[in-house]
Amino acid sequence: MRGLMMDSPLLISAIVRHAARNYPDREIVSVTGDNPQHRYKFSDCIQRIHQLANALDKLDLAQGDRVATLAWNDYRHLEAYYGIGGAGYVCHTINPRLFPEQIIFIINHAEDKLILTDPMFVPLLEKIADKTPHVEGYIILTSEDQMPQTSLKNAISYEALIEPESDVYEWPELDERTAVALCYTSGTTGDPKGVLYSQRSTVLHAYAGIAPDVMNLSMRDCVLPVVPLFHVNAWGIPYAALMVGTKLVLPGPKMGDGETLYALMEAEGVTLAMGVPTVWLALLQYMEANGKRLDKLQRTVIGGAAVPESMIREFRDKHDVVVHQGWGMTEMSPLGTLNSPKVGMEDLSPDDMIAVQAKAGRGIFGVEMRIVDDDQNELPWDGVAFGALQVRGPWVCSDYYKLEGSADSHTDDGWFDTGDVAKIDPEGYMQITDRTKDVIKSGGEWISSIDIENVAMGHPSVAEAAVIGVAHPKWTERPLLIVIKAAEADLTKEEMLQWFDGKIAKWWYPDDVLFVDEIPHTATGKIQKVKLRQQFADYKLPT
Ligand code: ADP
């Protein structure tokens, strides 16, 4: 027997309608390229979303056509999310930090018809314009008077495009399985792969994100996403914030600038900020160097890479800020786990609590997890056994865009293979041991590069640390530790190695320590292990 409930489709336009009715006065504050500080209300934002949707409908676009964005986190980019996706087109966010060849590949693979771009990326687009023939026009995210001189065809300023349009819009009644957004993986191995989100997956993911033990998002919050709108929907914040009326603070091109981030947090009363560990390193270093303290921030969600214990400790001890670690990936919209304490953990000692927080967190309802061995046998959640981490759920991709199964990313019984290696403890806290391709295989056993990095990062003289496996005649591979010293710190290899005493197993100790000035990062701010491995391909360990 079927239930007798309405079959209302889950559409992002419903979020806009809800926000317009219920939170018209909530604010969105942005830093933009052409506007050091822009501030307006949800009601203004929504009127402009309607204007954009009306404008797009007049262009030569069919439903499902890809409309790309190449932009930082600001109010116009946010409007594009809803104006494009809500109207039935696909908002394809492009990561401007990718190499030009990758950007060309992505634009062509997606067959983008239009590109909405920040003015600062106009020179880049001009350089690649003859290699991206599908693109029919460019909308420059600025006002008419700030419009740069450009050879881009059919270029128009965003403000000139939307200005003549009505601020009332009739949203189309779409099927909830309609595609709404497209994001490519960073392509650390091989070509980037497109992940195509649906209206339904996006709304469900936003619902999941606001729950108390996930991001606990409400109208009482003010959120600063330092996670980019151009990568995995800024962890769903653009949708979740409008769903519950959260004030938004968007840092524009100043995402990596500790001083701006700090000033925004204090001035706007940011209660929750989110970002990858590298961004928070910059902020913590700025605050340390300038004797600043965070007075308003209550919590931060950090994910995208393992969070070192030292970072959790510094946020807690110096700023009274709780770190919630999260784990996810482009293919998962991205949320998979989030770290919140379980009932009964109130009495844990501060050190034991940090040990819990250093894990990636517990499964969010909607994402099922399992760990399996090489023969696909499920492994126990005992905190010891580790294996390939697989997931399934309504906001996990079922395939990549236009790859039709060729990526071999799913198991026969319908689980997505994340490419991560993990263990899960009896309380349900998952911990990433490594990416499958980064794990160090030493004498038939696995060593977690992440665990060694985390311990190294705890040393007061270490600014950043990375561990890779290098070839070893007897053990196949052994760990090599690469370290950037903290400013003016004095640290020897011997002191570094001593630091591991009692913290990790002896056979996990790095075989060598190298001090460098720079560690390469990916376009999303993570340590680029592939590049490091290339860089040290000929490196011979001391015997
Ligand atoms: P890419 O880095 O290729 O752009 P994503 O941004 O989708 O891809 O990153 C997803 C990956 O980041 C995960 O598969 C995992 O390896 C890593 N990651 C994310 N969160 C964590 C975490 N909390 N701890 C360790 N690794 C993490």
The minimum-distance atom of ligand 1 relative to the CA of 360 is 23
Q: Is 420 in the pocket of ligand 1 (CB under 6 A)?
A: yes
Which amino acid belongs to residue 469?
G
Q: Report helix, strand or coil for 507.
A: helix
Output the pLDDT for position 374.
86
Place of tokens 């560990």: 277
Q: Is 185 in the pocket of ligand 1 (CB under 6 A)?
A: yes
Backbone angles phi, psi at 455, to 5 degrees: -70, -45
Percent of the chain with pLDDT over 70: 99
Output the pLDDT for position 525.
79
Buried b (16+ CB within 10 A) or exposed e, 391-414: bbbbbbbebbbeeeeeeebbeeee
Domains in the chain, CATH or no CATH each: 12-255 (3.40.50.12780), 438-543 (3.30.300.30)
Tell me if residue 441 is catalytic.
Answer: yes
Q: What is the C-alpha to C-alpha distance for residues 218 and 205, in angstroms, rounded to an integer? A: 16
**Range from 258-272, 447-461, 474-488 that averages highest in pLDDT:** 258-272
Residues 162-181: what's their mean pLDDT? 98
pLDDT at 253 over 80: yes
Which amino acid belongs to residue 292?
K
pLDDT at 310 over 80: yes
Q: Is 329 in the pocket of ligand 1 (CB under 6 A)?
A: yes
Taking the CB of residue 193, how many other CB atoms lie within 10 A of it? 22
Q: Is 95 in the pocket of ligand 1 (CB under 6 A)?
A: no
Q: Is 337 in the pocket of ligand 1 (CB under 6 A)?
A: no
Catalytic residue among 153, 296, 437, 441: 441
pLDDT grade for 232, boundaries at 50, 70 and 90: very high
Which residue's CA is minimally distant from atom 7 of ligand 1? 329
Residue to probe by mutation, ligand 1, list 324, 327, 395, 439, most atoms within 8 Å of CB: 327
Work out the angle at residue 529's Cα, subtended by the Cα atoms of residues 523 and 534, and round it to the nearest 5 degrees.
Answer: 110
Output the pLDDT for position 34.
73
pLDDT at 434 over 90: no
Work out the angle at residue 363's Cα, subtended by the Cα atoms of residues 361 and 369, and round it to the nearest 5 degrees.
Answer: 115
Instruction: Give the residue with greater pLDDT, 435 vs 293.
Output: 293
> Rounded to the nearest whole angstrom, what is the distance from the C-alpha of residue 2 to the centroid of ligand 1?
40
Is beta strand 137-140 parallel, antiparallel or unpaired with respect to 179-184? unpaired
Q: What is the C-alpha to C-alpha distance for residues 370 and 270, in angstroms, rounded to an integer? A: 36
Instruction: Give the residue with greater pLDDT, 278 vs 378.
Output: 378
Residues 508-528: what's their mean pLDDT? 90
- Averaged confidence pLDDT in the chain: 95
Q: Is 305 in the pocket of ligand 1 (CB under 6 A)?
A: yes
The minimum-distance atom of ligand 1 relative to the CA of 326 is 23
Output the pLDDT for position 65.
98
Residue to probe by mutation, ligand 1, list 97, 185, 312, 329, most atoms within 8 Å of CB: 329
Quick: pLDDT tens for 177-227: 999 999 999 766 668 899 999 999 999 999 999 999 999 999 999 999 999
pLDDT grade for 36, boundaries at 50, 70 and 90: confident
Tell me if residue 185 is catalytic.
Answer: yes
Which amino acid belongs to residue 485?
K
SS3 content of the chain, % helix, strand, coil (to 5): 30, 25, 45
Residues 234-242: what's their mean pLDDT? 98
Please tell me the least confidently modeled range out of 33-37, 163-167, 182-186. 33-37
Residues 419-440: what's their mean pLDDT? 93
Output the pLDDT for position 194.
97
Residues 276-295: what's their mean pLDDT? 93
Output the pLDDT for position 353.
97
Reading the block at residue 42, the tokens are: 């949800």
> Rounded to the nearest whole angstrom, what is the distance from the C-alpha of residue 276 to the centroid of ligand 1?
10
Q: Are 246 and 240 in contact (CB under 8 A)?
A: yes
pLDDT at 407 over 90: no
Q: Is 448 in the pocket of ligand 1 (CB under 6 A)?
A: no
The minimum-distance atom of ligand 1 relative to the CA of 188 is 3
Output the pLDDT for position 187.
65
pLDDT at 451 over 80: yes
CB-count burial class (<10 Å; 0-12, 13-18, 19+) for 25 = exposed
CB hemisphere CA count around 15 (13 angstroms): 32
Which residue's CA is minimally distant from atom 9 of ligand 1? 329
Quick: pLDDT tens for 122-153: 999 999 999 999 999 999 999 999 999 999 99
Nearest of 313, 363, 366, 49 to residue 203 by alpha carbon: 366
pLDDT at 543 over 80: no
Output the pLDDT for position 406.
87
Quick: pLDDT tens for 458-502: 999 999 999 999 988 888 899 999 999 998 889 999 999 999 999
Tell me if residue 113 is catalytic.
Answer: no
DSSP 319-358: H--EEEEEEE-GGGSSEEEE--PPTT-TT--HHHHHHHHT
Output the pLDDT for position 348.
96
172 Cβ partners below 8 Å, 6+ apart? 13, 63, 87, 88
Q: Report helix, strand or coil for 419.
A: strand
